[in-house]
Structure 1
């Protein structure tokens, strides 16, 4: 019965439109085209709004926000009563009585507009305004106005009054990309809505009437004038006393404009990339991507991952991370100071040994958000820093060799591949410990030949080296000779296996929740044992000998243990350093974005200086 009555009212309204003037007659044909909407079920579009994303550091403090529009929805019962009264009295006194539209208000507006070339007076209810905010354009035409009536009536059928009012208060525009009354409170005063004074509530309530004219930042006095009118209106309707009204109008309004938090961009940029990996892992798409047989299949799976990622971002989430904000800040400052030479760049990743969490990340000098992030995007040849992963640890794991075993450091060729030691030096039989700490290349290739290239890569593939390709399965890999290379993130990740032999992919994200706190994503806690205890013992001994009396002399840390491996690529185009202490594991790259020789910087040991500041 109510539905039929609503349709009758709409039809009658159309008749009124016809009778009110020549301008209406011109729009009547448009109105008739919507007659089918009266006979069919009106389907409202499914509308979704982007919600803010927040990242929290390890102490639970927000350090980054991502949003285009500032939206913080609030439930109806949490909205102060005075806010509700302001909008009922100023926008729609018959809100709780009408069925979505007010025929008398529409008639008054049409009468006022009949002598004008365009619509000047709206006559819209709160429900109609919500329709306009959610579903329709702001164009002032009779065609749009009629659709507004249809949709408003439909909304009233679907939702109760409180729900409609709640949606309205959450979706009004408050200028400066701010939507919703609670968002306005946090944006203009940096306070929750319930903590605002009545004067402050009335002040932000003044804005939506015309967000340009009543923009508090650009036109503060205009906003204050309308605020006082709204306060007077409350007094005139006995919501407050006139004495209270005077007190509220006299209260000084001081804005405290919210600024978007964008701290530690190197870390936050990586977190967003890791979130994509986490979603793919949770959905099993990472395995599908790895096993894709064709490029077309790979592109399709990647597209699915990207769409899921965008949907999660759009929904509004909280990302809790392991960021050590103090360390991140200090690491960035200290590395920036070390990189005194123009265009010289570096990147590093520091991992907490106990949790396998990334606590700081350096993406490059003068890094800005969404620049090329060298820590996880910069693939470069790793040089000898790769040897522990592909040669020595697999050797100890699969043979009876030990650091005291003997290996030749003399000239050596496999087919046309003839590696050379540093400076072209040739050595006789030496211990593996000596070959390791002085980084003899011919010894490393001999040992890879002993276990076989496939065995070396079998262990390497247990980690997350994403740029390894089939062409890399060669003896050159013993020296870090790869087609594309590796990143500092991947190297630090793999080196964590030398902590205790177990491996869990390093990560920055602790957990991801929706806006209500429901858990969405979290990395699995399981660890895989890669190296046996004797391999771990051998490797930690070799790495510590590098620092004590090998190529790593000059490294230091306030730790009972320190071990590392250096790496230098052909023509000194890259300097690497990967290692660990009791507390942290790290990998550091130093070089130029456009590779060129750094032979003249070899004695400066700049990457050593970086290690010494970020590992202490």
Structure 2
């Protein structure tokens, strides 16, 4: 008995000693590690790495930037059965333990002793929160001990639901999906609330090993994991046996779903991304910012499509340049076409296709197109394909398919039905036609070709400068170069309205007469004399400025600039805030030989459209942080005629100095922009009003008559074509919206002798404005005081005598032709001296 007592005492002392040592070691670890542990309250301030999202002003997704796809949600938005699925998979006793599951740790310890390796780890959901938010993923004892300590702290300071919410928003679930909401979209293209039980269990199986149990990469293992979780949910009483059986028998329905943008606006998206990186650095990609732009989703989509359609129309007019590749017949017969076609890129809606068979009798060509698979290309879709020779010359119209293509040719086609862009690499093999070559081909495609010509479209709200739509080229994927804001090109005759506005402010009138006659300039720097001409090659004699503008008479513009003075005109351009850095200081300036970007020209036209006020184009309307709080709002624009500093001071609300900058901007060292933007008057409103009426005649009876198709009476504009047709333009507006289009080659080259602004740029403008102005009432510039209408003799510019044929013209009061007197010289022009008229004529 005494021996048993002594043995019991020995074991008791050994137990107490071991326990004491364990307590001492544990306390030592705690005292050693505790000072380095982060405070738990940081969890409430941590910004989950959420991508940058860009939206149109009507809340359509334009783009998403960032490596991690995440959409944080609250626990109230997650179905209870989904929460239970994760607890069944990861921590069934989550609501019972205090952050550490002793049973789980004991199980992990036994696994370590028996296998020599750490396997399950015994982590609770709380411990995973500690690890995911604060610690590394190294599998070491120190990291595990830190994890336990942090879990205990987290449980003391946060409630269970908050911990579970943090966990479900942070976990990585494969395919760049972080958090349950992102995973539901990636795998099932659904919100969490719409998932089936089987789908919920599939997502719950991913945290353990996102690659090994991924339903896309390893469907068999994913199925096993899913069914095990469903069994656990049944055993734990979360689901009924019937629900379990139904879910276990469900097939895998997961597929990869990329973020679907709702507006095709890559150039606009890149402008927004670049600005956000400038403001916030690399944090722009991870801090969950939401950017709302000024562009309207529908208008932007139409702008993108109008530009592409216009460039393709020009390209078709100049013929077919032939196949983009050729596949040898032996390769064609022995290789999988679905593999070969992947060597050729898709460009927007244009798909590469391999010509398999050409049948002249039926008029059909059998092709294998990327994404579509086997398809038929009817001859009627190929009749445009005259052989390209030069920009001015094409071959004869094809009479049969073999005149255009041959077997083995690789060409671009357009599917007659829309084709989705996602997962196109797999579409060839999954196409039903690809499985059965004998199956009748249902798809029909049309011959197409990627345009070499490029273009741009910019549409501005005239009174604020807000960008309504912008397209910087045919395809952002093909070329990141944004021609709307980067390409410096000669504006040609679209420059003339600025010259004529300067003339109107200098006292000339629409009735001022200039001679449209040959003129020769000798320049020692030129090898030959300069003999400018009108685009028609003809000369029309004495011409009123109104007619000279709407008929775009070059010789009149040259004489007008000579009278105004080059330096004075350049100074006036600077007054209008139009860049003169790339403007020549010679008479060619009158023909638009300087250089402006399409955006600069569009802004200048917006100044004219709004009545002469400055505008500053801007794209970003608001920026919101990850919590939805607006941290930037575009300043309100106020148009100002005089005393603008006082107007600005009165318009700025009084604020506390401590609120002068938001924390986000202050941390980046950026000054908070003003809450209002005061735009001063740059041009005389009466001169601008008269210019409006002159530019409306460009539409009614001049080079822009094609715009009459809109059926509107409030449109004004100007076409533009440079020397050798290297740049073509159309700039048009009403009082509310100003839109400019440009077409040309990136490396300036002639577009063709029959191509002008009216034939290339104006159709693009027309397609866009038809939608942008749909349903909008007519918008005219208000008639300012000091304007008079006078009936004049169109031949002399003088007041018309009784009985003479006359037309009404609009003048500033002080520039109106003098009243008729008995000795009035009928050859004198509206208020100008006779020697001035002589100089203009000769």
Aligned to 1:273: 271
Helix, strand or coil at the partner of 2:600:
helix
Q: What's the CA shift for 1:431?
A: 3.1
Q: Are residues 1:438 and 2:520 paired? A: no
CA 1:263–1:549: 2 relative to 1, 3 Å: same
Aligned to 1:590: 743
**C-alpha displacement of 1:452:** 1.3
- Residues 271, 508 of structure 1: 8 Å contact kept: no
Contact 2:729 2:762 in 1 (8 A): no
Any idea what the Cα deviations from partners look like across 1:16-37, whole Å, max 9, x if unmatched? 89xxxxxxxxxxxxx97x9643
Alignment of 1:391-406 (within 5 A): 391-396=499-504, 398-406=505-513
The CA distance in 2 between the partners of 1:105 and 1:93, in whole Å, is 11
Q: Hey, what does 1:202 align to over in structure 2?
A: 201
Alignment CA distance shift 1:496-1:567 (3 Å)? same
CA distance in 1: counterparts of 2:153 and 2:21, whole angstroms: 15
Aligned partner of 1:539 among 691, 695, 704:
691
Greater relative contact order, per chain length (Cα 8 Å cut-off, separation 6+): 1
Do residues 327 (structure 1) and 302 (structure 2) align? yes
Q: Is the aligned partner of 1:499 residue 2:609?
A: yes
Quick one: distance in 2 between partners of 1:244 and 1:41? 44
State whether residues 51 and 65 of structure 2, in contact with CA within 8 Å, keep that contact through their aligned partners in structure 1.
Answer: yes
Tell me how far apart the structure 2 counterparts of residues 450 and 368 of structure 1 sit (CA, whole Å).
43
Tell me the TM-score normalised to structure 1 length. 0.77
| Residue 685 of structure 2 corresponds to residue 576 of structure 1 | no
Report deviation, 1:489: 2.6
Q: Tell me by how many angstroms 1:170 deviates.
A: 0.9
Kindly indicate whether residue 495 of structure 2 is the aligned counterpart of residue 380 of structure 1: no
CA gap of 1:496–1:428, structure 2 versus 1, over 3 A, is same
Determine if the alignment matches structure 1 residue 187 to structure 2 residue 186: yes
Query: Residue 630 of structure 2 is aligned with which of 510, 515, 519?
Result: 519
Closer, same or farther: CA 338–444 of 1 in aligned 2, 3 Å: farther
Query: Aligned pair count?
Result: 559
Structural mapping, 1:193-232, within 5 Å: 193-232=192-231
Residue correspondence of structure 1 range 400-549 to structure 2 within 5 A: 400-407=507-514, 421-422=532-533, 430-436=543-549, 437-440=552-555, 441-446=557-562, 448-449=564-565, 452-453=568-569, 455-461=571-577, 468=579, 470=581, 472=583, 474-475=585-586, 477-482=589-594, 485-501=595-611, 502=613, 504-507=615-618, 509-514=620-625, 517-528=628-639, 529-549=681-701
Cα 1:148/1:537, change in 2 over 3 Å: same
The structural deviation recorded for 1:587 is 1.4
User: Gaps spanning 5+ residues in structure 2: where?
Assistant: 1-18, 319-450, 640-680, 771-842
Q: What is the CA–CA distance in structure 2 between the aligned matches of 1:333 and 1:13, rounded to whole Å?
A: 75
Cα contact 2:464–2:615 (8 A) shared by 1: no
Give the TM-score normalised by the residue count of structure 2: 0.58
Bigger drift between 182-191 and 241-250 goes to 241-250
Partner SS state of residue 71, structure 1: coil
* 560-569 or 409-418: bigger deviation: 409-418
1:43 deviates by 5.6
Find out whether 1:258 has 2:257 as its counterpart: yes
**Aligned equivalents of 1:520 and 1:119: distance in 2?**
47
| 8 A contact 2:303–2:768 mirrored in 1 | no
Q: CA RMSD in A?
A: 4.0
Q: Is the 8 A contact 1:488 1:587 kept in 2?
A: yes
Structure with higher Rg: it is 2
Contact preservation (8 Å) 1:50, 1:316: no
Deviation of 1:507 after TM superposition, in Å, equals 4.9
Partner of 1:339: 314
The Cα offsets for residues 119-150 of structure 1, whole Å up to 9 and x where unpaired, read as 33312121222233233343333344344334
**Offset from partner CA, 1:176-216 (integer Å, 9 cap, x none):** 11111222223322222223333332232122222112212
Query: 2: distance between equivalents of 1:460 and 1:433?
Result: 22
Q: Does structure 2 conserve the Cα–Cα contact (< 8 Å) formed by 1:334 and 1:613?
A: no
- Greater share of helix: 1
**Which residue number corresponds to residue 73 of structure 1?**
72
1:589 Cα shift?
1.6
Q: Take 2:223 and 2:563, find their aligned partners in 1: how far apart are those partners?
A: 79
Q: Indicate how the Cα distance of structure 1 residues 81 and 496 shifts in structure 2: closer, same or farther if over 3 A, else same.
A: same
Relative to structure 1, is the Cα distance of residues 13 and 228 closer, same or farther in structure 2, using a 3 angstrom cutoff?
farther
Which residue in 1 is equivalent to 2:174? 175
1:42/1:154 contact within 8 Å kept: no
- Conservation of the 8 A alpha-carbon contact between 1:573 and 1:598: yes
Q: Does 1:361 align with 2:515?
A: no
In the alignment, the residues of structure 2 paired with residue 259 and residue 10 of structure 1 have an alpha-carbon distance, to the nearest angstrom, of 57
2:85–2:200 Cα contact (<8 Å) kept: no
- Look up the SS of the partner of 2:739 in the other structure: strand
Contact 2:558 2:591 in 1 (8 A): no
Task: Work out whether residues 395 and 447 of structure 1, in 8 Å CA contact, stay in contact via their aligned partners in 2.
Answer: no
Q: Secondary structure at the match of 1:319?
A: strand
What is the CA-CA distance between 1:581 and the residue it aligns to?
5.3
Q: Following the alignment from structure 2 to structure 1, what is the Cα–Cα distance between the partners of residues 604 and 616? A: 8
Give me the whole-angstrom Cα distance separating, in 2, the residues matched to 1:387 and 1:530: 17
DSSP 3-state at the match of 1:209:
coil
1:128 is matched with 127
Measured at CA, do residues 609 and 198 of structure 1 come closer, stay the same or move farther in structure 2, by a change above 3 Å? closer
- Equivalence for 2:458: 349
Which residues in structure 2 correspond to 1:23-62 (within 5 Å)?
Answer: 36-39=32-35, 42=38, 48-57=47-56, 59-62=58-61
CA distance change for structure 1 residues 334 and 450 in 2, over 3 Å: closer, same or farther? closer
Q: Is the 8 A contact 1:51 1:67 kept in 2?
A: yes
Within 2, Cα distance between the matches of 1:404 and 1:414?
32
Structure 1: 5+ residue stretches without partners: 1-8, 18-30, 280-302
Q: CA deviation at 1:73?
A: 1.0
* Preserved CA contact (<8 Å) 2:53 2:61: yes
Tell me if the contact between 1:500 and 1:533 (Cα under 8 Å) persists in the aligned partners: no
**Equivalent residues of 2:266, 2:476 under 8 A apart:** no
Q: Distance in 1 between matches of 2:706 and 2:234?
A: 77
1:433 and 1:551, CA in 2 relative to 1: closer, same or farther beyond 3 A?
Answer: same
Q: Structure 1 residues 42 and 491 mapped into 2: Cα distance closer, same or farther (>3 Å)?
A: same
Q: Is the 8 A contact 2:727 2:744 kept in 1?
A: yes
C-alpha spacing 1:479/1:146, structure 2 compared with 1 (3 Å) = farther
Tell me if structure 1 keeps the 8 A contact 2:48–2:286: no
Q: State the Cα distance separating 1:52 from its structure 2 match.
A: 3.5
Q: Contact conserved, 1:323 with 1:508, CA < 8 A, in 2?
A: no
What is the distance in 2 between the residues matched to 1:268 and 1:154? Answer: 47
CA shift for structure 1 position 218:
2.5
